[in-house]
Structure 1
Amino acid sequence: MFIDKRVPYRLGTSKLPPLPIESDLVEGRFPPKVQEACDIAKEYLKDEPLSFLYIHRRGEERKTALILSLYAPALKDKWHKAIEKLYKCFEHEEGLVAEIVDYHVHNPPFPKSITTVEVDLHQVIALLDDHEWMTVDIVRWYSPIRQEDWPTVVITARDAGQDSWWSKNIPAVEQFLKDQGLDLEVVLQFLDQLLPGLSSEEQDKHDLRAAHDLYFSSEIGDSVGIQNMDGSETLGCVVSVEDGREFGVTACRNFRQGPGSTQIGLIGLSIQSPSSYDDFLSKKWLSKDLKAEDLHISNLGKISTVSSSGSWLTDWCLFELLPRTCIFRVPESWARIEDGKTYQVKKQGRSTGLTQGTISASPSVINSKYIKHAQDAGIITSARCIVSKDMPFCLPGDYGASVQENNSGTILGLCVAYNQATKVSYMTPMATIVGEINDAVASKIKEPKETQLE
């Protein structure tokens, strides 16, 4: 055993796994050694807030006596003395370790948006060598050292447990930022995958718009799916082109039929609202005065076009609306977003309903090489991250939802993914979507109209 002191606000009696780590509480009373760990913490941190957990981290055989407190630079010596005492206590204890960690590190609050762009992320990712990194974002992240939200480069990686991150790569990024005269922190989080689409088993864990409402009108933000098949996405917007055709727009990641499938196989399939699985769920929740047989699914049209760019970021599909199909709450305009600016936005989605957030001023970088089922394997630099206050801006099932400017309802992009390690959502800028649609349908979009935000 050895003492892990890589960061001052998280100390352990052995090498600590990367955060965030899923764990389960160990049932029953604390065993004697865990109780002894609690007593040691109370001895050295008696004037500080303390909580004690006895946990089993998933994927590990050992159990952990977890001590939660609030770190401050003035407490550094006390924390070190406490962990050294805990080390002696646990030195010959097999299958049991101790950890002292700041509350905010163990369960990070939602980050806040950054308002200025100062960092060239291309130079940052060049310092990450061949690591399996997934995303790089710049946000305001809570810093236990500064005891406030601070501009931070947040890196997620599948191999975040490798020692070389701490011995080489993170110090290199920190030195690069310092050489640029930038006072930013660097945080590393474990992430295996960006949150994928909903499986049929997961769909009933997410809320839907009131069940009966789904059948009496079709609105932007409603559940859509392929007829008689699992998979739910969100109706994002409606576009009209100059030759008179009208299309619904949504994401199609959740419509693919397993690994290696192509989007070409989606052409001609019928889109309905609500999706087949959501129809099943809704009818379970109906009030007694409504009869399931009186509620009819809306057949909206057939998929006519899918994105052919091959980019994981542009995962849209078009379905040509049937004659006399009426969609409500259709946004009338779209706008381009600029680097270095923040935008207050909202979205209506199938899973999380109406949420609000802020588009951060800095573009994010996503490595699609390690994203499951991604057709491309490159570095995506045009995604923008959205931060929200108390809940995710979007979750699986919300993908394809339009991200709208709060006051005007102008579309700025479509929801594309959620990062559970950093609690940020990602969107594809609408300018990218519009450009691809214009090329795909060999006609120009007439509605919604492009506008410029003040």
Structure 2
Amino acid sequence: MDITDAIDKRLPYRVGYPILPTLPVRHEKCNIERYVRDYSNLVRRVSAVLNDLRIPFHHMEGCLRFHEGDHIEQDVTFLVTARYDFNDKECQTTWIEAVKRIHAYFLKSKITFKIEIIDQKLFFGRNLIKPIFSSEEKILKATAEIMPQLVNEIKTYAWVTVDVVHCYSPLRGKKHPTIIISARDTSKPSWWSTALPSIRKMIADAQSDLDLVLLFLNGLSLLPLDSQRRQGLEYAPYHPGRLIGTSCGLLKSPHCGSVGGVIRLEKDGNRLVLGLTNCHVLLDDFVISQNGNMGPYPPGPLLKDFVVISPSDADRKTEIQSIKSWVKDRPLATNTLAKLWSEKAEQPSQEIGTVFAASGYTTCNSASDRSAGQSDTTKTAKPPLDSNWPLDWCLFQLKSDSLSQLYTDIKTTWRRLEPHRSYKVCKTGRTTGTTAGHVSAVVSLLNHEGMYGNKPVTAHNVIYAHDSMYHLKYRGHFMLSGDSGSLVLLDETEATPIVGLCFASNPATKAAYMIPMEQVVKSINEVTGGKVVDPEEDVSEL
């Protein structure tokens, strides 16, 4: 049986049979002996094939490899990790021959496993991304030329994001500037036969050597799963005496996120002290119920009954279970200590305020052109489309007793980010705590359609977001679900002004997306009819 035409050879460094799910995939161990009687003999036979073809393999295993929601219990993949030799032009051809021989043995032995051979460095995590820096002017110029054409090419596909980053390339054996497209429909053959070759031609026409990668992504990470709730007493989702960066949610809601910070708003002669987070953290269910009205939602009776608590109900339940387990697992703990922790477990979440106003799921135009004084390269690299930015903020009026948990005498500032400069930044959030990273000099493109599930949107589908990335503590993640609502601070000056509001992360690329604080402040002023007086704009030179 000739399976040559059915072998997955879309990527030189990953081949298999039949067509494999597009990377990244979930990888789960399985009890391989449930499916084959003599597994050790299977390993010997496959090893003999690889050795005969002089393929330097690292390890092999039977496992489950699938996209979220596509899990089939009996759909076992026999996985081989091997060293892809980018200097050997026949490397993929050799791997294809290995797949044929392994399949022939499986067929004869009545084994129905899928087969996958993948580059070992890619499999074992050489996938940390790094930003594009301001000094990489050739990349800035090339992406400015390519992006409008690229968006037009992929407009009929279910794409989610387009990021430009440095990532590991098995074809080069090192990190290289790469355009990464994340999409829901990567199984469509036309992606591989038409769209990607067309985009590669665009890259060549721009006289660039950018790589191009297509990844599977069902959607951005917005709200945390149970597995992403912080566990253990040392990771309590709230801390007495501190509010910023801690867990928050609506009373009796399963959703949660982070308290980003404090906004002081002058309105109708009063100065209001308001907490800031994302709209989807507090009002996701409310937005769904509004029959297509995606916002914005100005101050008024529509929002006043939404009570904000910290920690969220979901995190509070996790904390209670953690405390009770701690007490149960320490029978020798003193009665006083056990009583102290047990009493803490029964304390309710703290009401910290009520919702005041929100952007809903809307977009806004970019700020006025500030290109004066910029280099020719930076001018050329201005955002190429309608320059829409997402809006996803929510303000809640803080209760007086919550104000005691804030450093109310400390003035804060915000500052504008130029779209094509890289910056060192940091943030504090409910899931990952304090992380540091970089804002890339190339803004990411996001498809607003479908960003919030099946909810409609109110503006152009193609929007922009600054992406922050690269923090080794969390395997390259600057933020994870549950950090939504965190404020991003510039980590280049002693004043650490606010530069953005985190709202989503990309599980496929590990990029985190933030809305420029300039746009957040502008929108708050427009929606509330007031004026943000703290933080105030920092106009000093960097």
Per-residue deviation, 1:393: 1.3
Aligned to 1:113: 131
What's 1:124 paired with? 150
**1:206/1:181 CA distance change after superposition, 3 Å:** farther
Whole-angstrom CA distance in 2 between matches of 1:191 and 1:431:
29
Q: What residue number does 1:395 align with?
A: 480
Paired residue for 2:50?
41
Amino acid at match of 2:52: E
Q: CA deviation at 1:313?
A: 2.9
Task: Give the equivalent residue in structure 1 for 2:398.
Answer: 321
Equivalent runs, 1:47-66 vs 2, <5 Å:
48=56, 50-58=58-66, 59=70, 62-66=75-79
- Deviating more after overlay: 303-312 vs 152-161: 303-312
**CA 1:448–1:208 in structure 2 vs 1: closer, same or farther (change >3 Å)?**
farther
Q: Which amino acid aligns with 1:385?
A: D
Counterpart position of 1:336: 416
* Inter-CA distance 423–42: structure 2 relative to 1 (3 Å threshold): farther
| 1:69–1:309 CA distance, 2 compared to 1 (3 A) | closer
Of the candidates 244, 252, 257, which is equivalent to residue 271 of structure 2?
Answer: 244
One-letter identity of the residue aligned with 1:123: Q
Does 2:127 correspond to 1:103?
A: no
**Aligned: 1:428 with 2:445:** no
Tell me which residue corresponds to 1:438: 525
CA, structure 1 residues 448+144, in 2 after alignment: closer, same or farther (shift >3 Å)? same
What percent identity do the matched residue pairs reach? Answer: 27
How many residues are treated as equivalent by the alignment?
Answer: 451
Give the corresponding residue for 2:377: none
Letter in 1 for 2:241: S
Please tell me whether the aligned partners of residues 207 and 351 of structure 1 are also in contact (alpha carbons under 8 angstroms): no
Letter of the 1:101 counterpart: I
Structure 1 unaligned runs (5+)? none
CA contact (8 A) 2:180 2:213 kept: yes
Which residue number in structure 2 is paired with residue 5 of structure 1? 9
Partner of 2:197: 171
Q: 1:3-49: per-residue Cα shift (whole Å, max 9, x none)?
A: 33322211224323211122322324536445422332233346x45
Give the AA of the match of 1:403: V
1:268 offset after TM fit, Å? 2.9
Q: Which position in structure 2 is the counterpart of 1:84?
A: 97
Mark the CA change 1:35 to 1:55 in structure 2 (over 3 Å): closer, same or farther: farther
Q: From the superposition, tell whether residues 63 and 275 of structure 1 become closer, same or farther in structure 2 (CA, over 3 Å).
A: closer
Report the CA distance shift for 1:340/1:208 in structure 2 as closer, same or farther (over 3 A).
farther
Q: In the aligned structure 2, how far is the partner of 1:150 from the partner of 1:282?
A: 43
Residue identity in the other structure for 2:320: K
Pairing of 1:227-266 with structure 2 (within 5 A) = 227-242=251-266, 243-255=270-282, 256-257=284-285, 260-262=288-290, 266=303
Where is the helix percentage greater, Structure 1 or Structure 2? 2
Give, as a single letter, the amino acid of the residue that structure 2 aligns with 1:268. D
Matched AA of 1:103: Q
- Residue 274 (1) aligns with residue 359 (2): no
Distance, in Å, in 2 between the alignment partners of 1:175 and 1:425 is: 29
Deviation at 1:188, TM superposition (A): 0.2
Moved more, 300-309 or 180-189: 300-309
Q: What is the alpha-carbon distance in structure 1 between the residues aligned to residue 57 and residue 303 of structure 2?
A: 56
Preserved contact between residue 244 and residue 259 of structure 2 (Cα < 8 Å): yes
Q: How much is the aligned-residue C-alpha RMSD, in angstroms?
A: 2.7
> Which of these residues, 21, 40, 59, is aligned with residue 17 of structure 1?
21
Structure 2: how far apart are the matches of 1:375 and 1:246?
Answer: 32
1:231, CA displacement in angstroms? 2.0
TM-aligned CA deviation for residue 434 of structure 1: 0.5
Q: What code does the residue aligned with 2:428 have?
A: Q
User: Paired residue for 1:222, among 208, 221, 246?
Assistant: 246
* Alpha-carbon separation, structure 2, partners of 1:183 and 1:170: 15
Give the TM-score of the pair, scaled to structure 1.
0.90
Give the structure with higher Rg (CA): 2
> Within 2, Cα distance between the matches of 1:336 and 1:381?
18
Residue 296 (structure 1) shift: 6.1
